[in-house]
Amino acid sequence: MRLAMWSLRLVVAVLLSSLLITALVVGMAPRVWGILNAHEETAIPLYQVGGFTGLAERSVLFDDQGRQIGVFQAENSQQTLISEIPPQVVDALLAIEDQNFRQHRGVDLRAVGRQVISNINDGASGGASTITQQVVKNELLATLPRDGRYKLLQMRYAILLERELTKDQILERWFNTNFYGYNAYGIKAAAEVYFGKDVKDLSIEEGAFLVGLVRAPSAYDPINNRSLSLSRFVTALTRVRDEGYITLTDDEIIRRAAQFMPTGVRSRPDEPVQRTHFTELVKDYLLNQTTILGITYQERYAKLFRGGLRIYTTLDRDAQASADEAVQLLPDNSVNAQAALVTIDNATGAIRAMVGGKPFKAGENEVNLAMRRRQTGSSVKMFILAAALEAGVESDDLIDGKLPCLLPNPDNPTEPFEIKDGVSEPVGPLRRMTWLSINCAYAKLSQIVGLNRVVDRIYQMSASEWLTPEKYPVYPYASLATGANELSVVDMAAGAQTIANLGVHHEPYLLEKILERDNSTLVWERAVNVNGTEALTTATAAKTVDIMRGVVRSGTARRTPLADDRPAGGKTGTQANNTNAWFVGFTPQYSTVVWVGDPRGYTPMRGVPEFRNQIVGTWKFARNTVTGATYPAHIWKLHMDKIHEGLEVTDWGTKRDDEAWKLLVTPQRPLARLYLPGVECVAQVISGVPPAPSTTLAPGRTTTTLPADQTVPTTAPGPVVVSVLPTSTTIDPTEKNPYAPVPSIPIVGHIVYDCDKGVPSWAQTTVVGG
């Protein structure tokens, strides 16, 4: 009995001694530490009052209407103001972590004493850190060893911190600096990750869960350690109940905890955070293509991923959703064909939508197919057409499109460029050759205009920071008209924008402005060129639009007119062996380009079983082959119909018969016959009437509707005497003047024939003046 009493007294004495020593240490430590470091007694400005100076925060991307479209984050660090945190969540924090927070001055001596007793009874170690001490630990002492000096330093800094910041500012720091698991730093990020909501919408139960999670996010992971996490949640809710913030029985607490337990990692549907090809393009630009955010890469990276920037882009979230939906028209397939799409605002050059193939996935689908260059097929003919019209060619000038055709090859004069396959079309108007995408006609036209001049027009019409002569070569190939050069979807959309905007080019761009984390201090803003750059004359662009409208009305894209009879122009493109398929189309408001192909290589898209008998609206894909008029054109229509909903149906002219527009597109001279010197020869008619050069004039432009001085009979009633004219030369390869005339002759009074075959048998030759 005496032994038991003696043991009890010994334990009590030890406890009282421990409490006394602890109290003395706590009371004297800051003063002792101050004496030991008297030379550093000057108050340390631990924080600047207000704001979030020094805290890392992810940068957020917004669309053109201020809606979030993505983030840049090394860690999901989101900052919030204490005023945005619901009072019940603050109550949960105080109940679980620091009941006396409002009373103490950084260190809670009573809590220290209670913890000492608890540690002795339980044989465990632990501390009674206040919220203030936890903030100090997170921000100032994270890298220091946990020795005796650590606890004294933590207490000292906690007392100093309480002198610098208000209680609410300290709470704000606590909520913003803690790690909650799953890469989430700060309660705002945690609210998004675990509950898919904004921090202001958290309940007291959800707040209790998150506060309880902070102690050991990995151990209390609700997805992988659900049982232990639920136990911690119950403990946290019990403390909230014990402090009087909720009224629940123990059984009700268990049920409530099970009800509010997160079941997975989430994101807010109204605030996308996933990486996309567009956001990755913005990231690459800010890190590698510009010094907007700093001189060194390290500066730019820190600013972009931890600087809390507010980045305002050109993307339209609704247009992007439309594009994402439209490309789903292309089914999964055995040749890995994917679709890329870009939409540009014609008035500004702003990129409103971008699909870079299958959705971005790190390590799997990283290549942005909207930026990757591929052979263009016949879609490149729009540049040849514009260059020809700029050089004085008229829409209904005649040109030969018969197969086969053998043309000079500047790269290898000993091996002429030959086209054998495709559609053959006898001599006819240029507009018809465009509608039917006649390769022989356009291969000749490119050399008639001059290959170098066509290349120059491509650079002028599609100019951007991605396409310049210095950055990327476009070659004057003899096969230019059949798509030998590789261009990107953005390049093609930029060229279409120039045509649709009646010759005024605006370079495609991604960014409008960048603000600091306060969403008001300007970091950078795009310099706006309201007037743009004239890449084509208004008359040239108007004639190009007029011809390309026929492609949609009655040409290769006639099956995909836009809803409400909305005016639109376009050009299909299919590369040899169906390895690339394009549609380039535009309205007065938007230009959209769609490409379909296999990103792994030039894979023929023929005989693909998944493409047969696909039904789109009222149209059925009976063939299993992809051309520009199939999936690309239908994706274009689906997307363009959607993004034009609610927009006024406008034409390039006030009305289709508007006098000003009519003046722009009407030929200003008698129609001519275009010819390629060296391939086609010319003779003047001395007497007689030669046969008509063609029976395939444009609709509405038959022999009876041509001006009287251009009427061409269809028969040769008598002998025809001609005089062969001297052979002219092609355009000088160095000629860059876009207005230099092309080889052509009046239709009436001349004939054009194949140089290799000689003068037609129905004609007699003579020498003028002989």
Number of neighbours of residue 466 by Cβ within 10 angstroms: 19
Q: Which of 59-68, 152-161, 283-292, 618-627 has the lowest mean pLDDT?
A: 618-627
How far the first Cα of the chain sits from its last, in Å, is 152
The token pair that represents 241 in the structure block: 């109940």
- Interior CA angle at 496 toward 490 and 497, to 5°? 85
Average of per-residue pLDDT values in the chain: 86
Please classify residue 202 by burial: count the beta carbons closer than 10 Å to its beta carbon, then call 0-12 exposed, 13-18 middle and 19+ buried. Answer: buried
Contact 367, 357 (CB under 8 A): yes
Please classify residue 490 by burial: count the beta carbons closer than 10 Å to its beta carbon, then call 0-12 exposed, 13-18 middle and 19+ buried. Answer: buried
- Mean pLDDT of the region 87-116: 84
Place 623 in a pLDDT band, splitting at 50, 70 and 90.
Answer: confident
Higher pLDDT, 584 or 12: 584
Q: Which of 127-136, 547-556, 755-764 has the lowest mean pLDDT?
A: 127-136
Place 334 in a pLDDT band, splitting at 50, 70 and 90.
Answer: very high
Place 693 in a pLDDT band, splitting at 50, 70 and 90.
Answer: low
SS3 764: strand
Place 497 in a pLDDT band, splitting at 50, 70 and 90.
Answer: very high
Residue 223 is classified by DSSP as: T
- Mean pLDDT of the region 121-126: 46
Q: What is the rounded CA–CA span in Å between residue 755 and residue 90?
A: 91
Amino acid at 733: P
Place 76 in a pLDDT band, splitting at 50, 70 and 90.
Answer: confident
Residue whose tokens read 């882009």: 313
Q: What is the rounded CA–CA span in Å between residue 488 and residue 342?
A: 10
Q: What is the rounded CA–CA span in Å between residue 350 and residue 527?
A: 13
| Contact partners, residue 479, CB within 8 Å, separation at least 6 | 417, 443
Side-by-side strand order, sheet with 750-754: 750-754, 680-687, 720-724, 763-765
Q: Determine the pLDDT at residue 117.
A: 57
Place 112 in a pLDDT band, splitting at 50, 70 and 90.
Answer: low
The phi, psi pair for 59, rounded to 5°, reads: -90, 145
Q: Are strands 76-77 and 184-185 parallel, antiparallel or unpaired?
A: parallel
Higher pLDDT, 12 or 601: 601
Place 710 in a pLDDT band, splitting at 50, 70 and 90.
Answer: very low
- Mean pLDDT of the region 733-744: 89
- Mean pLDDT of the region 223-240: 94
Please classify residue 387 by burial: count the beta carbons closer than 10 Å to its beta carbon, then call 0-12 exposed, 13-18 middle and 19+ buried. Answer: buried
For 136-193, what is each residue's pLDDT tens digit?
888 877 777 777 788 888 888 889 989 989 999 999 999 998 999 888 889 999 999 9
Name the packing angle between helices 451-461 and 381-390 (round to 10°).
100
Q: Determine the pLDDT at residue 661.
A: 83
Is 217 a residue whose pLDDT tops 70?
Answer: yes
Q: Are strands 76-77 and 486-487 parallel, antiparallel or unpaired?
A: unpaired
SS3 119: helix
* Of 312, 339, 284, 279, nearest in space to 514 by CA: 312
* Of 117, 119, 107, nearest in space to 151 by CA: 107
Q: Are strands 580-586 and 569-574 parallel, antiparallel or unpaired?
A: antiparallel
Is 697 a residue whose pLDDT tops 80?
Answer: no
Q: What is the rounded CA–CA span in Å between residue 35 and residue 5?
A: 44
The token pair that represents 414 in the structure block: 């000993």
Q: What is the rounded CA–CA span in Å between residue 636 and residue 390?
A: 28
- Mean pLDDT of the region 762-768: 80
pTM of the prediction? 0.81
For 53-69, what is each residue's pLDDT tens digit?
467 888 999 999 999 99
For 575-592, what is each residue's pLDDT tens digit?
999 999 999 999 999 999
Q: Concatenate the DSSP letters of all residues of 338-388 into one string.
A: EEEEEEEETTT-BEEEEEESSPPBTTTB-S-TTTS-EE-GGGGHHHHHHHH
Contact 96, 245 (CB under 8 A): no
Higher pLDDT, 175 or 273: 175
Segment holding 766, helix H or strand E: none
Gyration radius from the chain CA atoms: 38
Q: Determine the pLDDT at residue 712.
A: 46
Is 769 a residue whose pLDDT tops 80?
Answer: no
Place 633 in a pLDDT band, splitting at 50, 70 and 90.
Answer: very high
Q: Determine the pLDDT at residue 427.
A: 95
Q: Determine the pLDDT at residue 450.
A: 95
The token pair that represents 359 in the structure block: 């959705």
SS3 591: strand
Q: Determine the pLDDT at residue 124.
A: 40
> Three-state SS across 454-507?
HHHHHHHHCCCCCCCCCCCCCCCCCCHHHCCCEECHHHHHHHHHHHHCCCEECC
For 362-390, what is each residue's pLDDT tens digit?
888 999 999 999 999 999 999 999 999 99
- Mean pLDDT of the region 347-351: 97
Higher pLDDT, 117 or 415: 415
Q: Determine the pLDDT at residue 136.
A: 87
Amino acid at 411: D
Number of neighbours of residue 348 by Cβ within 10 angstroms: 21
Place 48 in a pLDDT band, splitting at 50, 70 and 90.
Answer: very low
The token pair that represents 171 in the structure block: 């709470």
- Mean pLDDT of the region 612-616: 75
Q: Determine the pLDDT at residue 531.
A: 92
Higher pLDDT, 31 or 358: 358
SS3 569: strand
Q: Determine the pLDDT at residue 588.
A: 97
Place 612 in a pLDDT band, splitting at 50, 70 and 90.
Answer: confident
Q: What is the rounded CA–CA span in Å between residue 404 and residue 292?
A: 54
- Mean pLDDT of the region 96-102: 91
- Beta bridge partner(s), residue 598: none
Considering the chain, what percentage of its residues have pLDDT values greater than 70?
Answer: 85
Place 505 in a pLDDT band, splitting at 50, 70 and 90.
Answer: very high
